[in-house]
Amino acid sequence: MKKRILILSNHFITLYNFRKELIQKLIDEEHEVFISMPKSEENKFFSDMGCNIIETNVDRRGINPIKDTKLILDYIKIMKRIKPDIIFSYTIKPNIYGCIASNITKHKQISNITGTGGTFLKKSMLSEIAKVLYKISIKKSYKVFFQNSGDKDFFVENKMVKGNYAMLPGSGVNLEQYKLCKLPSDDEINFIFIGRVMKIKGIDEYLEAAKQIKEKHSNVNFYVAGFIEEEKYKTIIEEYNSKGIIKYIGFQKDIKSWIEKCHCTVLPSHGGEGVPNVLLESSAMGRVCIASDINGSKDVIDNNKTGYLFEVRKSDELANRIESILNKKYSEIIQMGLNARNKVEKEFNRSIIIENYLSEVRNIEMEYANEKIC
């Protein structure tokens, strides 16, 4: 049965990187797909697939009562006009404000908690407001998908969700797109940080660990790939780059080629991740990963087998994990990478996520069919 499906997103790139396979499958099954997301020339990719694009302004930063109220009203107008059979939403604002709108318009919405960012890392006015917003929104969702058990437990304990939830293995990884590839030679050992350059992502720990290691090893390179999100890091990154401690390469559209050049990916995040895609993609390509011991990251890494975990905010521990890799034989690093690939093949294949979403579409089809019979 052909269904009208509305997808709420806050950015083209996240939808392209992690949802395009699902969207293609929905199109292939002849569902009518509408996508609400901010204006971008790149949106043409999805319109060419056969999707209907609805340009919607989404302020991705902070809480602004005026802008956020307008977003809720925009979502209400969209839902009333399209009359979707089901709504899929990703990231905080589409989840919360989309659910408020879908509760008002009486539409079924499936929310995906892709991570909470820094919102709940410490108790604050913002975290308390966020709890209230979740309670009046996704608590009434048709279904809530969580990407790691830590987030799920936190939401359940704080009564931000009822029994309407299920688990997903992150956003999964496209194993055809991120193929196993040969490890570089061990003439030089290359590490890479991939992500926005900001405190919460653990850039300070990465820089400090790089400094410690470079004082002892000359054949090691530390790359930093990503936008500088916080102003104070512009001068810091420039200084470390000029001293040769790191090599800053900025945001890279083709991150695969850089993962391929490296032996290990490092994610020292302080928390708020769903299941980090950078770890999934690196593991799929047969790379060892080092990450802080946080929800999501510890789902991907089997400590001492596919990579290493270290205590959050402990740069000395991170440096020790890097030393562990430097002390390993080349063949042992290769084997850890193969272990990582095997793990994501079994547990994080993106087809698992697609099938979960298609299953929900079928469930709703059955509900509509039963309603007609009654």
- Give the contacts of 114 (CB within 8 A, at least 6 positions apart): 90, 91, 147, 171, 274
Q: What percent of the chain has pLDDT over 90?
A: 87
> Tell me, what's the pLDDT at 372?
65
Average pLDDT over every residue of 110-124: 89
CA nearest neighbour of 269 among 287, 249, 245, 293 = 293
CA geometry: angle 302, 303, 308, nearest 5 deg = 115
Q: Is residue 109 within a helix (H) or strand (E), and if so which, with residue range? A: strand 109-113
Q: pLDDT tens digit string along 166-220?
A: 999 999 999 999 999 999 999 999 999 999 999 999 999 999 999 999 999 999 9
Q: Which residue has the higher pLDDT, 323 or 122?
A: 323
- Model confidence at 157, in pLDDT bands (50, 70, 90)? very high
CA nearest neighbour of 133 among 203, 69, 204, 214 = 69
Q: Which two tokens stand for residue 322?
A: 């890097």
| Candidate from 18-22, 65-69, 335-339 with smallest mean pLDDT | 65-69
Residue 256 has pLDDT above 70, yes or no: yes
Average pLDDT over every residue of 59-76: 88
Average pLDDT over every residue of 117-146: 90
Q: Which two tokens stand for residue 320?
A: 């020790």
Sheet hosting strand 32-37, strand order edge to edge: 52-55, 32-37, 4-8, 86-90, 109-113, 143-146, 165-167
User: CB of 135 within 8 A of CB of 95?
Assistant: no
Average pLDDT over every residue of 233-257: 96
